[in-house]
Amino acid sequence: MDLTERKLKILQAIIGDFITTAEPVGSRTLSKKYDLGISPATIRNEMSDLEEMGLLTHPHTSAGRVPSEKAYRLYVDEIMKKQELSKSQKEVISKELYSNITELDRTIEHAAKILSHITNLTSFAITPRADEDLLKAINLLPIDEETVILMIVAESGKVSNMALKPRCQFTDEMLRILSKSMTYNYKGKTINQALKSDIVQHFESDVEAMSGLARNIMPNFVKTLEQMLNVNLYMDGLTNIFSLPEYNDISKARTFMEVMNKREDLAKKISCRDDGVMITIGTENEDDQLNDCSLITATYHIDGRLVGKLGVIGPTRMRYGEITSVIEYLTDNITNTFKIMGGKDDESENGK
Amino acid sequence: MDLTERKLKILQAIIGDFITTAEPVGSRTLSKKYDLGISPATIRNEMSDLEEMGLLTHPHTSAGRVPSEKAYRLYVDEIMKKQELSKSQKEVISKELYSNITELDRTIEHAAKILSHITNLTSFAITPRADEDLLKAINLLPIDEETVILMIVAESGKVSNMALKPRCQFTDEMLRILSKSMTYNYKGKTINQALKSDIVQHFESDVEAMSGLARNIMPNFVKTLEQMLNVNLYMDGLTNIFSLPEYNDISKARTFMEVMNKREDLAKKISCRDDGVMITIGTENEDDQLNDCSLITATYHIDGRLVGKLGVIGPTRMRYGEITSVIEYLTDNITNTFKIMGGKDDESENGK
DNA sequence: AGTTAGCACTCAGGCGATGTGAGTGCTAAT
DNA sequence: ATTAGCACTCACATCGCCTGAGTGCTAACT
């Protein structure tokens, strides 16, 4: 069967209506509300065709039609026009975002907040994984007779440290030499590269004592590097879903909360998503628990090198067009901000 | 009216029954289930008295009785025997707790997890506020021509740092001197004391350049110290409440989630609580949204100096006795662990 | 041939009547 | 002082009924 112009128009109307009302939409309502220039009966015939094509479903005989996942997919891929945000909308978003730029993490957290407020859905954002961040300096600082602090600084300004108690004697001199040597070895490399090189094996010094210290410290160097790869996941608007009719069912709400509480899983899932804007609808999500949700995510970039993600989750019935525009606008803003800002004063990144 | 032995027994039975079933308990059920040696009619008379005394309420005429807040208060204060945990229970808890001791934060997070699993309620834990932690070392490290890292180390092993870009020229030598001077000034003082002393004013050097650098750095020193006071709040078992009949009502569940999502408020609220085990029941919580919840919290100590909190939140109908014992056992264990551990190898505390 | 009016049919959801059972409170007998 | 007995209450479940929004089909219209 052919998807005529008219069928498309009807489908679009149905999707639009269902997205706002969450009620199955019938032929009469449709012909009244939208000026399609055809009678309910004709609409019914067309609807019947659309159903045959798998684009509409029927909760029960005497109910109106509901768009299928396939319909949403079609809508997202073909029909949905990329709607520019209005100037005032843009202004509000920018203003909100820029009102609170201190540190990357705070900015990302804030972006998630803005997003959930605008969309009335649950939003999430993950900070960039530092894989490609360049190492800048490595320091070993004596604190007392038995304690040393290992500190790693990356190009982006990220700092990670660990307090160590080496099991062997050490002098300030030894620490200085080892710091220098490590910095010399790893400066300019990405964290990934550093981790791939066989760090623990690497340091075999001629000087007996030195080699002992190095052996003691290297495993912790690896640990600290790995720590730098940790990402933070921020969420906001978790309770927004309680306003949605699809979550009136307590068990649905529960499932949703359970998914959102498995933060590590969620972070991993989101990290894996493609670059750019990505939309998954219902069963397109591999996770069974998300089978009646849709996700929209987009990527932002820090210094053109580090990549983070931002997005929303909600029922399959969502304003794909609008939301996509908002997310894109937000990520673009973040990317731009952290391109220009590069050397902003007062930038910080550190222990909670 | 007098609270006779028998009345107390009946009250206890009602509380016990209601806590497990969540259903109003009637006289017949009571006389059948519990061997009180008196007939339902007598129980009814006693119940009527208890109601007059404000210890029981009546959802409606033809329903059984429900314990009032006052009854729970009485129960908690007077009736509830401090029930020792069984040996096997203790073992399970200890084993679980010790299975995962790496770093203070992880341990506390894990303790919250254990607590929610055992109680089937929502648990929370906050890491100690570092007010009384002693400063140990302050370092300023040159990273590149314009970047300096300020690092503060405390006695407990906690490290906090910030990347700065001073607006003035500096040399390695200057940084070293300033570090030494700051360490000399603040070492051994608590963070609180340090913050109270007028840090910004303090550094007035004779050397012009030095004084400029100091003026540049001191505000950030304050910021970093303040950052060290931040506590982390961990929660677990948020979705447990969905299994409780009192949260079948979606709006109740929503309110609960909203409260738990205001993390800063929650952390503040919990931090303020008294030392030791503290139980607040229903309207004893100032927060309106918690008026049908009870909270049990207890404190743990790190090095006898730092104080953190651990607790659960649930409906007023909860197993106060059991839960209190579990929480106490957990906090005691944590306190002991971090007394002995003091100088454990591999201890760490750092950026994310 | 496509469109539309008309009509019979379907079915979820709301509403009222009814019945049931767990509970109470009171009174009189033990 | 305790208990048996009894009338009374009331939430809750169940049933049948009605309503209204919706469909699908057919026959008439353009």
Which of B109, B129, B140, B149 to mutate to test binding with chain A, by most A CBs within 10 Å of its CB? B149
Report which residue is nearest nucleotide D8 when distances run from CA to C1': B62
Rounded to the nearest angstrom, the gap between the alpha carbon of residue B122 and the centroid of all alpha carbons in its chain is 12
Nearest-CA residue relative to C1' of D5: B41
Segment B250-254 shows an average pLDDT of: 93
Give A117: exposed, middle or buried? Use CB within 10 Å, 0-12, 13-18, 19+: middle
User: Based on the number of CB atoms within 10 Å of its own CB, is A331 exposed (0-12), middle (13-18) or buried (19 or more)?
Assistant: buried
> Which residue is closest to B216 within chain A, CA to CA?
A346
How far does the CA of B252 sit from the C1' of C17, in Å? 32
* pLDDT at B111 exceeding the cut of 80: yes
- CB-CB under 8 Å, B350 with A224: yes
SS3 letters across A101-166: CCCHHHHHHHHHHHHHHHHCCEEEEEEEEHHHCEEEEEEEEECCCCCEEEEEEECCCCEEEEEECC
User: Which nucleotide's C1' atom has the smallest distance to the CA of B32?
Assistant: C22
Nucleotide nearest to A40 (CA to C1'): C4
Nucleotide nearest to A37 (CA to C1'): C3
Residue B22 falls in which region: left (phi positive, over 0), alpha (psi -120 to 50) or beta: left
pLDDT of residue A285: 96
φ, ψ of residue B280 to 5 degrees: the values are: -120, 140
Interchain proximity B153–A163, CB inside 8 Å: yes
Q: Which residues contact A218 (CB under 8 A, 6 or more apart)?
A: A199, A200, A202, A203
Cα distance between residue A276 and residue A78, in whole Å: 18
Residues facing residue A314 across a β-bridge = A294
Distance CA A202, CA A205 (A): 9
Name the residue closest to C2, CA to C1': A42
| Sheet-wide strand order for A122-129 | A233-236, A122-129, A306-315, A293-302, A278-281
Q: What is the pLDDT of residue B199?
A: 72
Q: Rounded to whole angstroms, how far apart are CA atoms B297 and B119?
A: 13
How many angstroms separate the CA of residue B68 from the nearest CA in chain A?
A: 27
pLDDT for B252 beyond 60: yes
Asked if pLDDT for residue B216 goes beyond 60, the answer is: yes
Judge whether residue A57 contacts strand D, using its CB and a 7 Å cut-off. Answer: no
Residue numbers in B near A136 (CB within 8 A): 143-144
State the Cα angle at B55 between B50 and B59, rounded to 5°: 95
pLDDT attached to residue A260 = 97
Please tell me whether any atom of strand D lies within 7 Å of the Cβ of A280: no
A113/A99 Cα distance (integer angstroms) = 13
From the alpha carbon of A30, which nucleotide's C1' atom is closest? D22
Q: Report whether pLDDT(A13) > 60.
A: yes
| Beta bridge mates, B163 | B149
Q: Which two tokens stand for residue B306?
A: 């730092």
CB within 8 Å of B76: residues ≥ 6 apart? B279, B281, B320
Cβ proximity of A46 and A39 under 8 Å: no
User: Mean per-residue pLDDT for B187-192?
Assistant: 94
Contact B277, B296 (CB under 8 A): yes
- Distance, CA of B305 to chain centre: 16
Least confident of B7-11, B33-37, B259-263, B312-316: B33-37
Distance in Å from C28's C1' to B59's CA comes to: 29
Chain B residues near residue A162 by CB distance under 8 angstroms: 348, 350
Q: According to the model, what pLDDT value does residue A89 have?
A: 93
Instruction: Give the whole-number percent of chain B exceeding pLDDT 70.
Output: 93
B47 in contact with nucleic chain C (CB within 7 A): yes
Q: Does strand D come within 7 Å of the CB of A63?
A: yes
Residue–nucleotide distance: A24 CA to C13 C1' (Å): 15
**Which nucleotide's C1' sits nearest to the alpha carbon of B41?**
D3
pTM for this prediction: 0.90
Q: Would you give the distance in Å from CA B251 to the centre of its chain?
A: 26
- In this predicted structure, the answer to whether residue A207 has a pLDDT above a threshold of 90 is no
Read off the pLDDT of each residue in B76-101 and give the average, rounded to a whole number: 89
pLDDT of B178 reads 92
Which of the nucleotides in strand D have any atom less than 7 Å away from a protein CB atom? 2-5, 8-11, 20-26
CA distance B151 to A161: 10
**Residue A14, H or E segment:** helix A5-21
Interface probe for B, chosen from A162, A180, A191, A241 (most Cβ of B below 10 Å), is A162
Of A239, A254, A261, the CB nearest to B254: A239
Of B324, B218, B340, the residue nearest B277 (C-alpha): B324
Biggest distance spanned by C-alpha atoms of chain B: 92
- Number of C-beta neighbours around residue A233 at 10 A: 20
Given a contact cutoff of 8 angstroms between Cβ atoms, the answer to whether B93 and B326 are in contact is yes
Cβ-Cβ contacts under 8 Å, A148 against chain B: none
Pairing state between β B159-164 and A148-154: unpaired
DSSP per-residue letters across A183-204: HHHHTTSBHHHHHHS-HHHH--
Q: What is the pLDDT of residue A167?
A: 87
Closest nucleotide over all strands to B31 (CA to C1')? D3
The angle, 0 to 180 degrees and rounded to 10, between the axes of the packed helices A87-98 and A104-119 is 140
Q: Residue A205 above 80 pLDDT? A: no
| Rounded Cα–Cα distance for residues A189 and A233 (Å) | 26
pLDDT value at residue B348? 42
Q: Which two tokens stand for residue B337?
A: 């662990």
Pair A11, A47: CB distance under 8 Å: no
**Residue keyed to tokens 């604190």:** A143
Q: Are B141 and B162 in contact (CB under 8 A)?
A: no
Sequence length of chain A is: 352
User: Taking residues B12-33, what's their average pLDDT?
Assistant: 95
Is B22 near strand C, with its CB below 7 A from some atom of it? no
**Residue A286's CB: how many other CB atoms inside 10 A?**
9
Range from A66-80, A152-166, A338-352, B150-164 carrying the lowest mean pLDDT: A338-352
Minimal Cα–Cα distance from A168 to chain B, Å?
12
Mean pLDDT, all residues of chain B: 90
Q: Protein A62 CA to nucleic acid C9 C1', in Å?
A: 10
Say which nucleotide is closest to residue B45, CA to C1' distance.
C25
Å between CA of B299 and C1' of D28: 84
Q: Is the per-residue pLDDT at B344 higher than 50?
A: no
Q: What is the DSSP letter of B40?
A: H
| Strand pairing class (B159-164; A56-57) | unpaired
Burial of A23-44, coded b for 16+ CB within 10 Å and e otherwise, reads ebbbbebbbeebebebebeebb
- Is the pLDDT score of B96 beyond 90? yes
Predicted confidence at residue A344, as pLDDT, reads 40
Q: Once rounded to an integer, what is the mean pLDDT over residues A249-257?
A: 94
Q: Beta carbon of B65 within 7 Å of strand C?
A: yes
Cβ–Cβ below 8 Å for B227 and A352: yes
Among A141, A247, A261, select the one facing B139 at the smallest CB separation. A141
- Strand C within 7 A of B44 CB: yes
Distance from A151 to chain B by nearest Cα, in Å?
Answer: 9
- Candidates A350, A298, A314, A344; CA nearest to A121 is A314
Whether A352 sits inside 8 A of B347 (CB atoms) is no
C1' (D5) to CA (B8) span, angstroms: 27
Q: Is the pLDDT of residue A334 over 70?
A: yes
C8 C1' – A6 CA distance, angstroms? 29
Token readout for A214 is: 């190095």
Nearest CA in chain A to B258: A239
| Inter-chain CB pairs, A–B, below 8 Å | 131
User: Quick check: B346 and A220 CB within 8 A?
Assistant: yes
> In the predicted model, what is the mean pLDDT of residues B86-114?
91
- Closest chain B residue to A140, measured at CA: B141
> Which 5-44 residues of chain B approach strand D with CB closer than 7 Å?
37-39, 41-42
Give me the residue label for tokens 């084993």. B95
Query: In the predicted model, what is the mean pLDDT of chain A?
Result: 90
C-alpha dist (Å) from residue A298 to A73, A332, B308 = 17, 9, 39
Q: Where are the alpha helices (DSSP H) in chain B?
A: 5-21, 27-33, 40-52, 69-74, 87-98, 104-119, 172-186, 191-196, 199-202, 208-228, 250-261, 263-271, 320-340
Contact assessment for residue B253 and residue A241, using Cβ atoms and an 8 Å cutoff: no
